A = this chain, B = another copy of it.
């Protein structure tokens, strides 16, 4: 009996905030177009966006992070600053196209934060607004109307499609909690839960493709599982990505939204000195929520997270703002120094 070989792939979610928008670095994934069946392409027939990725060289790379740094450097020319491990994905079905007989792929995903200056990238890499992939997560302007107009009805249909009563009510509960429906509050951190619901309900392109490929490979007939249905292409939500990369991205976004609340990671995305409004805009961009300005100031200043430098910001329209910098001492003073989203303006 031949043993199935294992391959480790490292994925990087590389985040920056430019012009008050959170961006992630993407590349084109040429191999992945192989798995797209004829007639069911990614909108325009081009290779889909992918997160930067590379194999771990089990012989050469001493640590996982070094491996990551290495090919990110090569592929994009970017020097990573803050790096943290996100999650390891290893389900067999995660890459339906490479499933039978091939090696088992385990992908270990990392989150990296870089400063906005570093935006020049080389090669096929592109910075993309991460809300293109998750339009329902962007509450900066207002609560996205697509939640009520598209998502809620489609998910409700999916829940009802469950014949089993307890499954149906479990689905309903998940939907309400994840999307803040029926009076439940919106929790900005539940990004992954929301994406997975949409995936299960067949509302994202990846699910459609996975199903098609899986079915073709199994040579099975249309034994569709409970409540799985085909959406028309036009109703699929958000910009798709290759393989399960959008799931990885959702994990990253949720993790980052949580982390800013108890660790001073935002500063990894800012230049060493910044105005309070710039800081606020970055936090808002990540959290996807607008904040109350005065309370935000009070929180970060009185919280000891920043300190004034005395210098003023040269640019901007109105009264010049003071430049602040991260106050390192806060690490010694408070147990979990972060930015607790003061006054998230829900109205």
A80 at the binding interface (Cβ < 8 Å): no
| A182 to B333 Cα, complex, angstroms | 10
Contact A58 B5 (CB under 8 A): yes
A92 to B60, CA, bound (A): 9
A189-B6 in contact (CB<8A):
no
Report A229 CB to chain B, min CB distance, Å: 24
A108-B88, A187-B336 known; A4+B58 contact, CB < 8 A:
yes
A152 at the interface (CB under 8 A from B): no
> Which residues of A, 249-307, contact B by the 8 Å Cβ criterion?
none
State A10–B329 Cα separation when bound (angstroms): 39
Residues of chain B within 8 A (CB-CB) of A335 are 185-187, 189
- Interface: A121 (CB within 8 A): no
When the two chains form their complex, are residues B92 and A63 in contact, meaning their CB atoms are under 8 A apart?
Answer: yes
Q: Give A53-105 interface residues, CB cut-off 8 Å to B.
A: 56, 58-59, 61-64, 85, 87-88, 90-93, 103-104
Main secondary structure of the interface of A (DSSP, over half): loop
Closest chain B residue to A63, Cβ basis = B91
Q: Which of B62, B104, B334, B336 contacts A59 (CB 8 A)?
A: B104
User: Would B62 and A92 count as touching, CB distance under 8 A?
Assistant: yes
Q: How big is the A interface, by class? A: 35 or more
- Asked whether A8 is an interface residue with its Cβ less than 8 Å from the other chain, the reply is yes
A331 contacts B by Cβ under 8 Å: yes
- In Å, the complex CA distance between A62 and B91 comes to 6
Complex A-B, nearest 10 residue pairs according to Cβ-Cβ distance, in ascending order:
A58-B104, A187-B335, A4-B59, A4-B58, A6-B6, A184-B332, A88-B88, A63-B91, A64-B90, A62-B92
Given contacts A8-B90, A182-B332, 12 further A-B contacts (CB under 8 A): A3-B59, A4-B58, A4-B59, A5-B5, A5-B6, A5-B58, A6-B58, A62-B92, A177-B332, A185-B335, A187-B336, A189-B335
